Chains A and B, each alone.
Chain A
Amino acid sequence: MIIYGTALLALCHLTGLFLGDLLGVAIGVKSNVGGVGIAMLMLIFLKIYLHDKGLMPKETEAGVGFWGAMYIPVVVAMAANQNVVAALKGGPVALLSAIAAAAACACVIAALSRSGRDDTAFPPAHHLEFTEEEDV
């Protein structure tokens, strides 16, 4: 049943956000700390667990896969919601700080991603159901 997958995703989402809020309160921060990350980790572990138990049929996976594939459209909608006018009104201080911070971070990313050994890779030709095909 496709709803089992979506419900599993929803439960992980809610539990993760709740734990993130608790973590925020525990360390005295007025924000959610890693709620989405906690939810992602839960979903990863539950997927492996249920898969090993044989409780993860294709339909259930599709109930999660659909939302994963909806990700880019959601991001486009999110972009359309940004307060771009306010951002541009910030003037030179905001613009310069933002550009300089982004540029410095890009350099550090370039240095770090080339340092050390990188033996991580994507699995070859791995296609989830509902994963979007890129038409170039």
Chain B
Amino acid sequence: MLEMLNKILIANGLVTAFACVGVAIWLAGVISRRLTLGYVHGSAIAIVIGLGLAYFGGRMTSGEKGLADFPLLTGIGLMGGAMFRDFAIVATAFEVQPSEARKAGMIGALSLLLGTVIPFVIGALIARAFGYTDAVSMTTIGAGAVTYIVGPITGAAIGASSDVIALSIATGLIKAIIVMVGTPFAAKFMGLKTPRSAMIFGGLAGTVSGVSAGLAATDRRLVPYGALVATFHTGVGCLLGPSVLYLATKAIVG
């Protein structure tokens, strides 16, 4: 009996994922209404549940894909993978008002640049404070503070050691998680309520995953505007990291 059920769930991985995520979101909605009286958005709770399960999955299987490392739940990996994520993000473009997006284009580009340089400088300085004083390590960890993709790409390009690259990935991952969970709480402070502010956020907060989840948990209408800018984040970081930022770091610390 149980074996038959197991077989069906594994053979229909994506469908299993739809069912599991549906249950998680329903549960998050109940928690949001009953325990927080609607103060914390259901989507934010659902994302935290997802992250918690990912931690549990990682601990149990010692794999790298969170919950998706359980054979029963590989469908979660497909549903939450880059293909579906990008497909759904592109679909949200249908809700973009081009006139609003155009008004904020310049400030979006500016925040994209600041969103690369500021985390880089802070990451590199903290790395130095902890004894990573060579330009290559500082650059790699600084690039990791931009996004967890920029870190390893920059590190590989300038020849960083593998433990420094792992550190830069960890930095980027933690930042993405902070953005995912923290955005709804900091939304008021950041003035996050218009398309323009969402585009500024998309440029500065970085990582498509962090921005998209953070905005989804705040106000779904903000998502397409933030994603429109954030999607250039990794590209700009990978462009500047191993070139301008590395050379600047090298020039300063020698």
Contacts and interface: CB of A to CB of B under 8 A. Distances in A.
The answer on A and B forming one complex is yes
A112 B107 contact: yes
A73 interface: yes
B174 A94 contact: yes
A24 to B, nearest CB: 7
Contact of A100 (B50, B79, B126): B126
Contacts of B51: 79-80, 82, 84
Contacts of B114: 108
B54 A71 contact: no
B100 interface: yes
A33 B239 contact: yes
Most interface-central of A35, A70, A93, A95 (chain B CB within 10 A): A93
A97 B65 contact: no
B126 A96 contact: yes
Interface in B211-238: 212-213, 216, 220-221, 223-224, 227-229, 231-232, 234-236, 238
A121 to B, nearest CB: 6
A29 B238 contact: yes
Band of interface residues on B? 35 or more
Interface string A95-136: 111111110111011101110101111110010100110111
A12 B94 CA distance: 12
Interface in B171-191: 171-180, 182, 186, 189-191
A95 B79 CA distance: 28
Determine chain A's interface SS by DSSP, over half rule: helix
B118 interface: yes
Nearest to A85: B58
A12 B228 CA distance: 14
Determine chain B's interface SS by DSSP, over half rule: helix
Interface string B61-88: 0101111100000001101110011111
A3 B76 CA distance: 24
A28 B66 CA distance: 32
B245 interface: no
Interface in A69-92: 70-92
Contacts of A116: 107
B235 to A, nearest CB: 3
Contacts of A39: 86, 90, 93
Contacts of A75: 43, 47, 80, 85, 88, 209, 212-213, 216
Given A72-B25, A108-B114, A93 B127 contact: yes
Nearest to A90: B170
B221 A122 contact: yes
Contacts of A86: 58, 64, 166, 169-170, 173
B133 interface: no
A136 B33 CA distance: 7
A64 B234 CA distance: 26
Contacts of B17: 77
Given A39-B90, A106-B182, A106-B186, 16 more contacts: A9-B90, A10-B87, A41-B228, A61-B94, A75-B216, A77-B80, A78-B213, A84-B54, A87-B173, A93-B167, A97-B123, A105-B115, A105-B204, A108-B204, A122-B221, A136-B38
Interface of A: 9-10, 12-13, 16-17, 20, 23-24, 27, 29-37, 39-41, 43-45, 47-48, 61, 64-68, 70-102, 104-106, 108-110, 112-114, 116, 118-123, 126, 128, 131-132, 134-136
